[in-house]
Structure formats: C-alpha cells, structure tokens
Chain A
Amino acid sequence: MLLIVCPYCGKRPEIEFTYGGQAHLVRPAKPSELDDQTWTDFLYMRTNTKGIYAERWRHARGCGRFFNAVRDTTTDHFIATYKTGEARPMLRASAAVTTPSGVASPAVAPSTGAQSAAATPGSTTGGPR
C-alpha cells in the first residue's frame, strides 16, 4: 500500500485516497467551437506515461480535497505532491525515461520556483515528461 503525502494533512495510507487520473487537463472554454478531434483528445486521450507522471488524487476519507502529485509510474515512487492550482514542479531533464521499458529514473528533485509555459496549470500537455 502506498503512503501518500496529502498537502493539507500529511502522510496517510493509500486507502484514504481516490485516484483522479492525469493532472493539468483543462476543460476547453468553448467546447462547441472545437472540432471533433480536439474534443476527443480532451475527453479520452491520455499520455499514459511510463515514467514521471503528474496526476490528481483526492483525500476522500480525510480532508476531502483534490491535490496533484508527481509520481514515477515505473516505480510508484512519489516525487512530490502539491496543491491544486500550483504549478507542476519542474524536474531536471535527467528524469526522462529513455527506453520504453523504463530504466529506473535517477534521483530527481523538484527545482525551486522554476516554471515554464508548458508547466503552468492550463497547459493540456502536462509539462515535460
């Protein structure tokens, strides 16, 4: 069972949480003006990343609040959790998984304060992977 750090309550066991899927997906402002493929991409297409992945969790049996996490899906190691609305922590390029089987990532540390256009909430691409 995973131990997950809720940004509001601290470290709690996984059974207190529900999973919310890929993070930083933003509903388009005017869906009726989109073409079908763009709307489909928003509704259904997911990066399903093997490696460093930003995702939503909800502390359903605790404070009840949603928050975001960055986790390595090849090891299930949580690298960071942060409040909804905050930018995704930037990770050094060395965190990138180089092969499809996912060579275990080297140590990755969130760099402080670094932001880019791709990492700000509102980007549907979810930042560097």
Chain B
Amino acid sequence: MALIRRGLSGHLGWQPQWRKATLKASYDAVIVGGGGHGLGTAYYLAKEHGLTNIAVLEKGWVGGGNTGRNTTIIRSNYLFNESAALYDHSVKLWESLSQVLNYNVMFSPRGVMMLAHTVHDIQVFKRHVHANRCNGVDNEWLEPAQAKEFCPLLNIEDNIRYPVLGAALQRRGGTARHDAVAWGYARAADSLGVDIIENCEVTAIERDASGAVAALETSRGRIGTRKIGVSAAGNTSVVLALAGVKLPLESYPLQALVSEPVKPIFPCVVMSNTIHAYVSQSDKGELVIGAGTDAYTSYTQRGALHINTHTLDAICELFPNFRRMRMLRNWGGIVDVTPDRSPIIAKTPVKGLYVNCGWGTGGFKATPGAAHVFAWTIAHDEPHRINAPFTIERFRDGFLIDEAAAAAVAH
C-alpha cells in the first residue's frame, strides 16, 4: 500500500531506514565491520543482551564487502559435529529471520544440490549424508535420474568430461537476498539505539596498563571502549595486527558473476566442488555464479578472468541450455581463509578484544548464527556452547575442525 501511495506522490516521501549517527566519545562495545555479521552482532547484543550503547564502524558502506559480493548460498550439511551445530543454528535462524526483523530477507529454501562426479565424491557425499542425519541435519542421496528430476536442466549424459554420478540434496538449504540481510539488521539495530558509522576506519587499538582494550583510534576520531568485536572478513589480520594479535589467516580474492536476467528457469542451487560450478537464479532472473579463489593472497577485491572462465566451462557442460547466455558483470571480494576452513569465533589473547573471522568462501550462510553466538561471546566474555570449539587455540592444541579435508574446495 505504501508503495502505491508513494508512487502516486512521485516517490518523494521515503525516509532513510536508519539514522546517520554521529560518533560518541565512548561506547560500551564497538563492532568493527558493517557487514551482515557485524550488524547482526550489534543487533543481538542490543536485543538479547541489553547492550544498546554500542557502535558499528564500517570503513566503506554498509553491506559493501563480502555481504554484498557473495552468491548467497545457505546450507548446513557439514561433516563434523561442531560445524553441523554452528551452521544448523544459522539455518534455523534464517527460517524466521524475515519475521524477527520485520524485513523481507527473501530466504528461499529451494534446496541445495551438490553433484558427485567421481567414486571418491560418492563416498564422501554418502558419508556426509549419514553424518548429517546423526546430527539432525537433513541431507539425502540422489541417483542421477533423481537429480535431473529435481533440476530438469541438468545434463546427466555420460558423454561429458565429468558425468554426474549422483548428488547430495539438502532441501532446507537455499538462498536469501544478501543486501536485505545487511539492511534488515542495520534497521533493526538502529531502532534499538545502535550507532552505525560508515566511512570510519580503525587505525589503532589502544590498551591500558593491564593490556586490556581501552580505546580505538579511527579516521573519524578516538572512541573509548572496553569491548571490541571484530567482524572484518578479509581485513581481519590487518585490524588484529593493530593489537599485536597473530591469526592463522590468509586473504584471497574470490570472484562471482551474474548473467543477463531471464525468466524463471532454474529451480534450485547446484554446486559442484569437483569441477568448480556454483549456480542459482536470483529473483531478478540473473544466474548467480560463484567462481573459485585466485591462487595468491591479495586485498584488491579483484581477480583474474581465467578463474571465471574455468567455472563457466563447467557450467556449460552441466547445463547446455546456458551456453549462449551472456554474462552481465563480475566482481571479487576478499575472503579470510583458515588452514582447516572452519571459522574462528572467539576471545583473543587481548582482554576485551573478540574476533569473528576465518569464514573463507562460505560466510554468508552463517550470518545470523555467527552473529548470534558472537554477540553472546562479547556479552558474557566467554563463548557460547556452539562456538566454544571455534577458538584460535585449536591450532595450537590440535583440535582442528577440518572441513578443508571434508569439502576439498569451496563451501
């Protein structure tokens, strides 16, 4: 109704969805990074832990980093118990997120189908299916004909280079609207009193005599605070280096691209880790395609074209209908990758400094869950039961959560 009314009045009466806040001299807590993870953390801190005197600092614009650059795939069919608990916590929050935020994040559980092309794939995927069922996470094995029934465009002929030998399907998985997630959290956090400060970059972290966090130096002035939560994705190493904290992270470019928009043709999400194809169709009609990471570490937010063409080769084999589609645009984001491809959501050796990082190529799906347990960690100064295994110290103590070996490439 509002849309019609505004339309008749020339779209002149719209109000901003959140305030342009002015920076205060001090806050109870400061979140560094204004993507979905950071804004979500601020929202849950205000909503569930009563911390409303907080700020979210973003060096660019809200949702302009990896939140606005990913391919929006949501799933929770991870192998290990710790991962299944964390990612499924997130999927459960996705299911009610639009109602909770009163903002349509367009969560669409259309099913995520992961293709198997080798005998090894089949064995690994079936192991995932069984492990997931033990953890109460839905995942089922499909023979090639069943996979084609679920996604009719799929080419299951045996005359392609990597024929489809089967698939694992998580029906509760799907996609959401990436921008709406950032905006929904921003509006909800703002209405609870959270200050969202854009174009504000952290340049130093001050510590008191005991070594605890005391203040932040930013491009817009000094801010006193006893608690800092860092959700800075690819730039996490840079921010934590300001406090002298070392992390097992490397930042790589990850690229994605979209096609020209077409009518609804593609009913689900299809992923193929083996031949690097990740595709779904947005509600606007574009095919949303994820490519691989570039070979080298970088902070440039761009990558090389041969990475994209490699992905398109695979997609043209699997979906011959798409061979004549034109690609509209491509871009890159910087992802922070851990050695075991599992995230870090933890306290750091510096008192009052907390970090949520290491999501690598698959952080969007975890936005609500990670933000929720990260807020808990900041508020209680101890990890939530779900993120307790995702420490920095796990690398020292040998308790890796090795989804790298389980997933081989991208999540």
| Interface set of A (CB-CB < 8 Å, partner B) | 1-2, 14-15, 17-19, 21, 36-37, 40-41, 43-48, 50, 53, 55, 71, 73-76, 99-102
Contact B397 A36 (CB under 8 A): yes
- Kindly state the separation between the CA atoms of A18 and B295 in the bound complex, as whole angstroms: 7
Number of chain B residues whose Cβ lies closer than 8 Å to a Cβ of chain A: 31
Q: Mark B331-364, 1 if CB is under 8 A from A, else 0.
A: 0000010010000000000000000000000000
Which residues of chain A are within 8 angstroms of B246 by Cβ–Cβ distance?
A: 41, 45, 47
Contact A46 B299 (CB under 8 A): no
Interface residue from A1, A36, A74 paired with B396 (Cβ < 8 Å)? A36
B29 within 8 A of A: no
Q: A45-B247, A46-B249 are contacts. A55–B297 as well, Cβ < 8 Å?
A: yes
Contact B235 A50 (CB under 8 A): yes
Question: Which stretch (B180-188, B189-197, B236-244, B320-328) binds chain A?
Answer: B236-244
Contact A76 B298 (CB under 8 A): yes
Interface residue from A15, A40, A46 paired with B250 (Cβ < 8 Å)? A46
Interface residue from A14, A40, A99 paired with B304 (Cβ < 8 Å)? A14
Interface residue from B201, B248, B300, B305 paired with A73 (Cβ < 8 Å)? B300
Contact A44 B339 (CB under 8 A): yes
Contact B201 A45 (CB under 8 A): no
- Kindly state the separation between the CA atoms of A12 and B144 in the bound complex, as whole angstroms: 42
Q: Mark B244-262, 1 if CB is under 8 A from A, else 0.
A: 0011111100000000000
- Kindly state the separation between the CA atoms of A101 and B296 in the bound complex, as whole angstroms: 18
Please give the distance in Å from A97's CB to the nearest CB on chain B.
Answer: 9
Closest to A46 in B: B250
| 7 A-B pairs with C-beta separation under 8 A | A40-B395, A46-B248, A46-B250, A48-B237, A73-B300, A75-B300, A100-B242
Contact B339 A73 (CB under 8 A): no
B96 within 8 A of A: no
Interface residue from B59, B297, B305 paired with A101 (Cβ < 8 Å)? B59
Contact B250 A73 (CB under 8 A): no
Question: Counting chain A CB atoms within 10 Å of each CB, which of B239, B247, B336 scores highest?
Answer: B247
Please give the distance in Å from A10's CB to the nearest CB on chain B.
Answer: 19
Q: Which 10 A-B pairs have the closest CB atoms?
A: A48-B237, A44-B248, A19-B295, A40-B396, A100-B238, A1-B304, A45-B246, A44-B395, A19-B296, A50-B238
B54 within 8 A of A: no
Contact A100 B306 (CB under 8 A): no
